[in-house]
Structure 1
Amino acid sequence: MRVLAAVATLLFSLVACAQDSGEFKVGDYYQVLPQAVPQRDTSKIEVTELFWYGCGHCYHFEPILNKWIKAMPADIKLTKIPAIWQPVMEVHARMYYVADAMGVLDKMHEPIFNAINNQRKMFATRDGRDWNPDLAAIEELFNSHGADGAKAAKLMNSFSVNSRVKQGMANQRAYQLAGTPEVVVAGKYRISTSLPGFKGKSNGQELMLQVADYLIAKERADRG
């Protein structure tokens, strides 16, 4: 009886492992959010990247993500949310939302990354604990890449951009953001290289997208 019980336990364990994520075990490679964040487009599976223009890891993740995007199936929708947990990050988030509102995000996204990471331009001035947008520098950057710099500077503190900043911060709280870059799949699953499964892995950023692929397949199967 003890042998049979041991065999039954072993079989149950093997089945459980097969039903789990196998290599990508929950808690090791991703977390299930306690409350799912509703998707804007329920006809798609949304994949959300949380990033900061001033984050070197995000800067190096960008070409990896872009390569993944090129092979992205039609039922996937990628969204980006600029993270904010410091005042200077809000300035950079506003630059993202301004570029998006102007329809020049494809033109400005990489230059903003490059200017902050390679040229060490912060596009903000510090006044004690506060950081204020350096509107002249922002206008110059947009102008230098064929966008309307004056309009960009004007939109930095607009109602629409203020609203998007508030919504982005609400979403990052709901996603339980712990650092950048992080990826959320279907508003349910949070992927972060800070999780135990990524420890010691040299290809952590590529692995994040492998986990995303796994979770996309899981969500697709769950939807039937």
Structure 2
Amino acid sequence: MIPLRRFRQALAAACLLVALPVFAQPAAEGPVEGVDYIAIPDGRPLAPLDGKIEVVEIFSYACGHCADLQPMIEPWQRALPADVRFTYLPVVYRTHDAFATAFFASQALGTLETTHQATFDAIHRQRRLPGNATTGEIAWFYGQLGVDQPRLEAAMASDETAAKLNAAHEFLLRSGAQGTPTLIINGRYRVQARSLRGLLRTAEALIARERTAAR
């Protein structure tokens, strides 16, 4: 398990994709451990697999690389085969993180399709939200999008949201992810790549590997 101190250090440079080692593209035989991905010791999925292959994207709304990946990963995850379960998971370095709290509250209200892309846009394109926005500022902005603000604020303060924040924090620690965006396959593999498209290509290869191993 990675000490929390190291994650706080990582928070200062939350988007580490540009800092990933510049390795050669995956060889024809498939992704190479230590180059294209890291095997997670005693890795466990975020949720029971139930016959599925799990792909988790650990992201941060404040991360520019996550904002750049979002228009690519949204159609990519929608086109995944039926045996693959994709999950967006906000990075939770601190269990009272405002954007993660807002994500889980919006998820509980069924309004993520309204708020998810809009939050990236508000921070990185429209400058309507700061990268360190408070829950109050985010709730106000979501209200401008048509989300019921009192219900949202209640969801933000709920025990259900607190439990999800704790679970996300624990998954972050055991996955060893130190930056965003990070893709985790079946809780076992942490993808690393030199480009956003490389991230998705390696994920596809690891999905295929897990599918073959399950037969």
Where on the TM-score scale, by shorter chain, does this alignment land: which range?
0.7 to 0.9
Q: Which residue matches 2:29? A: 22
TM-score between the two structures when normalised by the length of structure 1: 0.77
Matched residue pairs, number? 187
Structure 1: gaps spanning 5 or more residues: 1-19, 126-132, 199-203
Question: 1: CA distance between counterparts of 2:210 and 2:135?
Answer: 43
Percent identity at matched positions? 27
Q: Residue in 2 aligned with 1:220?
A: 211
Q: Which residue of 1 aligns with 2:66?
A: 58
Task: Give the TM-score, by structure 2 length.
Answer: 0.80
1:180 is matched by which residue type in structure 2? T
Q: Which sections of structure 2, spanning at least 5 residues, go unmatched?
A: 1-26
- Choose which of 37, 60, 68 in structure 1 pairs with 2:76: 68
Paired residue for 2:196?
A: 205
Q: Describe the SS at the equivalent of 2:97.
A: helix
Contact preservation (8 Å) 2:102, 2:139: no
Q: Which has the larger radius of gyration?
A: 1
Measured in 2, the distance between the counterparts of 1:150 and 1:110 equals: 22
The residue that corresponds to 2:9 in the other structure is none
Alpha-carbon distance change, 23 to 134 in structure 1, aligned in 2, over 3 angstroms: closer
**Whole-Å separation in 2 of the counterparts to 1:84 and 1:143:** 23
**Residues 138 and 152 of structure 1 are in contact (CA less than 8 Å); yes or no, is this contact kept in structure 2?**
no
The structural deviation recorded for 1:207 is 0.7
Match of 1:92 in 2: 99
Do 2:123 and 2:129's aligned partners in 1 also have CA atoms closer than 8 Å?
yes
Point out which structure has higher relative CO (alpha carbons under 8 A, 6+ apart): 2
**1:141–1:149 CA contact under 8 A, matched in 2:** no
Amino acid of the structure 1 residue aligned with 2:141: L
Runs of 4 or more off by more than 6 Å in structure 1?
none
Structure 2 residue matching 1:50: 3-state secondary structure:
strand
Question: How far apart in 2 are the matches of 1:124 and 1:179?
Answer: 17
- After superposition, the CA RMSD in angstroms is 2.0
CA contact (8 A) 2:36 2:191 kept: yes
Is residue 175 of structure 2 the alignment partner of residue 175 of structure 1?
yes
| Matched-pair contact (CA < 8 Å) for 2:99–2:138 | no
Q: How does 1:53-202 map to 2 (within 5 A)?
A: 53-85=61-93, 90-118=97-125, 119=127, 121-122=129-130, 133-135=134-136, 137-193=137-193, 198=194
1:46 aligns to 2:54 (yes or no): yes
Deviation at 1:117, TM superposition (A): 1.9
